[in-house]
Amino acid sequence: MSDLEGLYQIIDVDENDVFFSILPLHHVYECTGGFLAPIYVGASVAYASSLRPNVMLEEMREIRPTVWLTVPLVLEKIYQKILKTLNEQKGVKKVLINLMKTFAKERLSKRIKASLGLDRVRYVVSGGAALPEWVSKGLEDLGFPILQGYGLSETSPILTLNPPHSPRNKSVGLPIPGVEIRLFEVNERGEGEIAAKGPMVMKGYYKNEKATKEVFYDGWFLTGDIGYFDEDGYLYITGRKKAVIVTKGGKNIYPEEIENKLTESPYIEEVLVFGAINPETGEEVQALVYPNLDEVRSIAHKMGKVPDDDFIYELISKEIERLSKDLAPYKRIKRFALRYEEFPKTTTRKIKRHLFEGVFIKVGEKVKTDL
């Protein structure tokens, strides 16, 4: 209830609103934001009957929601679909779209939103994982009212949210009323472990005093996430404390930063970046890549090539090199392998990193299908 009280001091929702629900209700993000929040003010909730993209979009067009809680992976796929549709237009239609991009952005935005059933939407809330900046910026440029937030199951879950009047979607926003946030063990770049305090924070893990003691320090709940504040108090997430890769030279590398960069490629559907111990050089950055096979086949066809393992590996290698140019040399991927099936994920579509602990890609290894 305290989380809802804080949320409704930021978000203006009433009985006229319609929420569109696609996430499982047992997940606290959907339970608080997509179930209790609308019930609290008498708003309506429409439940998707399927998560198959075509069915979901058809139902969204029928419902025309005003509020939509979703996760980064869904927004990423929608944005890529929009870009693909715009790029595939030919002749007069393509000329008109290019003109609209320049001179009639608002009209183009209305057309795109109407095609998705989002012409009435006032809030598109992204949570459950980090939203890549290239996705949030791209959707914002098209007029989508994106709001990124942050929280954990242990905090009911909402801790921060971007204010609708002044969102900075590279960040996860400002602490909602009732929440205190501070950073522990801050480094020279101003990054530290995010800790929270407030009535929405749990009392502890059920019948597990040891685990409870591990996550509380002097009354502060330690989230395990690393982040920093900007000059206006907006919080930015850098990565997970457990996932950080420490190089031989003592540099910290956050896999999420590299993953977000690489998924800008239309040929990379998913990627998992991790640290692996090389007996000769120490910790090095490696990756498993799940290619977007539809896009790969399309480019192979245009080039008159066969989309076999060698072609795909070479294509992904060039994409990694291209997208890594802006990264510091120590953050660049030393080796990668292809994977031809989706990564196992949580209910909020986050890759289950723990299943891949201890993975090491050997020299010359291109394809991994064992996990």
Give the largest CA-CA distance in the chain: 67
Q: Which of 240, 256, 291 is the last residue of a domain?
A: 240
Residue 223 DSSP SS3:
strand
**Domain total in the chain:** 3
Q: Cβ contacts of residue 233 below 8 Å, gap of 6+?
A: 174, 175
Flag whether 369 is in a domain: no
The sign of the torsion formed by the CA atoms of 154, 77, 257, 262 equals: positive
CA dist., res. 36 & res. 15, Å (int): 13
pTM of the complete model:
0.80
Flag whether 191 is in a domain: yes
pLDDT for residue 94:
55
Same domain, 202 and 338: no
Angle at 87 between CA 83 and CA 91, to 5 degrees: 150
CA dist., res. 84 & res. 53, Å (int): 15
Same domain, 123 and 27: yes
Same domain, 18 and 115: yes
pLDDT for residue 89:
64
Flag whether 167 is in a domain: no
**In this structure, what CATH number is given to the domain that contains residue 306?**
3.30.300.30
Residue 334, domain extent = 245-356
Same domain, 47 and 141: yes
**In this structure, what CATH number is given to the domain that contains residue 97?**
3.40.50.12780
Flag whether 68 is in a domain: yes
From first to last of the 371 residues of the chain, give the pLDDT tens digit. Answer: 999 999 999 999 999 999 999 999 999 999 999 999 999 999 999 999 998 889 999 999 999 999 999 999 899 989 988 888 877 765 544 555 555 555 557 888 898 999 999 999 999 999 988 888 889 999 998 999 999 999 999 999 999 999 999 999 899 999 999 999 999 999 888 999 999 999 999 999 999 999 999 999 999 999 999 999 999 999 999 888 888 887 766 778 889 999 999 999 999 999 999 988 777 666 789 999 999 999 999 999 999 999 999 999 999 999 999 999 989 998 999 999 999 999 998 877 788 988 888 888 887 888 876 54
Same domain, 66 and 116: yes
Flag whether 181 is in a domain: yes
Same domain, 196 and 337: no
Same domain, 57 and 34: yes
Provide the token pair at 140. 């914002």
